[in-house]
Chains A and B, each alone.
Chain A
Amino acid sequence: MIAMDFFRLIIQSLAGLGNALCFLGDILRNVLRGKVRYGEVLRQVYEQGAQSVVIIALTSFATGAVLAIQGAETLSRFGAKQYIAQLVAWSLVREMSPVFTAIIFSAKAGARITAELGTMNVNDQMLATRALGVDPIEYLIVPRMLACFLVMPILTIVSEIVGIAGGYLVGIFEANIPGPYYINQTLRAVRYVDFFSGFAKVFFFAVLVGWICCYQGFVTQGGSLGVGKYTTKAVAYSIIIVILSNTVLTKLIITFWG
């Protein structure tokens, strides 16, 4: 009996993954055929960006500051306090900003996307779109997905700049490092490869978060309870996938890119 249930679960999971891949295929097909509503994409960029930028800036500032505080404490034991700027910049640019941005974006904008699409689904608005002769993937999904792809890198840059600013303030006021020296060290520390390796991750996370959140909204059923359930699922899946894929991406980037 347990084996049967397990087997059924595997089959259901595979079917779900297959449907989600077909959904991603439909999105890509629309994009490649140029079926993109640019006005709607811009509206989504504004909504998703405006919704997440403040919280991402706040957490990044705090993260940068904490990294600098911890760095000052640890590095001063080895007489290497002057490397705080490098520590903060590397950590933020290579790892923390891309991952934190993706996680916070999932919880704010991603949850909104799923809840919005899910509510439309349970209120028959998605069906009405098809009934009106309009493809809901083209009209509702592609703009949201593309907006994720555009917004998340911008938010990551905001996160990196604000995070470095947080570290800078701690560096000059707490660790007494001269401001120009801190800035110079930061600029010298971050190489193009550091910046682009973090950036490559963000694009990957953007596709994953957009895909998961849009798909969960697209398949939502079960009324208002269903909207809650699928929204929670979307955020949980997004965060797990971002964290797990980050491990693999980091290994790949370090192996092939340095």
Chain B
Amino acid sequence: MIRVEHLFKSFDGQKVLNDISFSVPEGEILVILGASGTGKSVLLKCMMGLMKPDKGQIWIDDKEITRLPEGDLLKVRKHIGYLFQEGALYDFMTVYENIAFPLQEHTALDQRAIEAKVKNALELVDLQGVEGKHPSELSGGMKKRVGLARSIILGSKILFCDEPTSGLDPIRSRDISSLIKNVSKRLLCTTVITSHDIRNSFYVADRCALIRDGKIIAMGTRSQMEASSNAFVKEFIH
């Protein structure tokens, strides 16, 4: 369902992504691991079409997106949910308005149907009674839940999560990881998550990929990663 082929991206001559290739089959949760600043978020933004790679191809549902103009990319993005690191909720909107926004933009649903869908999405992320609050009144974990609710509201079958556990305490990290896993499996989403949180990544992932110096140096299930003989992989996961 998602295929990345020989992806390259540099900033001011510094190679951030250096020949990245992988694929994610339908319904799988792939976690891309790596230390901070290794290009995980850049990779995810390229996959979302928010950033143009220098070279390489990205296939989403048999559509190559790297050469699409912005107008066509907007259409592709309607079918992908994206959870930003800090939630990226609109400050000037309430929680309800934030979650309802994609529905108002891309569907012809009436007010009552939108209300029902928002309520349902909030139940799914285990967050109720906050519809009237503004993002500034929410904790970091709540913002991420609202962000997750907004990213799945259109029923997308692809979900990208950028560092969903960053800035959260271990208990909240576990909660949000478990939530992403449940939501993803329940909605049969193909999910790509970037993270440097090993414990929660192993918990949530079907497969993991480890990035170093812009390259994927190891990829596989938890047991395959743990059995790796690569010194950096061993050091990173233990």
Chain A residues within 8 Å of B, Cβ to Cβ: 119-120, 123-125, 127-128, 130-135
Contact = CB atoms under 8 A, between A and B. Distances in A.
A57 B50 CA distance: 44
Contact of A128 (B70, B75, B84, B106): B84
B102 A133 contact: yes
Given A125-B91, A127-B50, A133 B77 contact: yes
- Secondary structure type dominating chain B contacts: helix
Contacts of B89: 125, 128
Contact of B77 (A120, A123, A131): A131
B124 to A, nearest CB: 18
Contacts, number: 53
A135 B74 contact: yes
10 contacts: A124-B85, A128-B88, A128-B90, A130-B74, A131-B82, A132-B77, A132-B101, A132-B102, A133-B74, A133-B105
B78 interface: yes
Interface in B74-122: 74-75, 77-78, 80, 82, 84-86, 88-91, 101-102, 105-106
B88 A125 contact: yes
Contacts of A135: 70-71, 74
B86 A130 contact: no
A172 to B, nearest CB: 47
B182 to A, nearest CB: 22
Nearest to A129: B90
Interface of B: 45, 48, 50, 70-71, 73-75, 77-78, 80, 82, 84-86, 88-91, 101-102, 105-106, 150
Which of A123, A132, A135 has most B Cβ within 10 Å? A132
A176 to B, nearest CB: 53
A22 to B, nearest CB: 12
A133 B50 contact: no
B2 to A, nearest CB: 16
Contact of A134 (B80, B85, B105): B105
B86 A123 contact: yes
B143 to A, nearest CB: 11
A192 to B, nearest CB: 42
Given A131-B48, A132-B101, A133-B102, A124 B84 contact: yes
Given A131-B82, A132-B77, A133-B102, 7 more contacts: A123-B91, A125-B89, A130-B77, A132-B102, A133-B74, A134-B74, A134-B105
Contact of B82 (A123, A128, A134): A128
Contacts of A124: 84-86, 88
A205 to B, nearest CB: 27
Nearest to B74: A133
Contacts of B78: 132-133
A247 B150 CA distance: 50
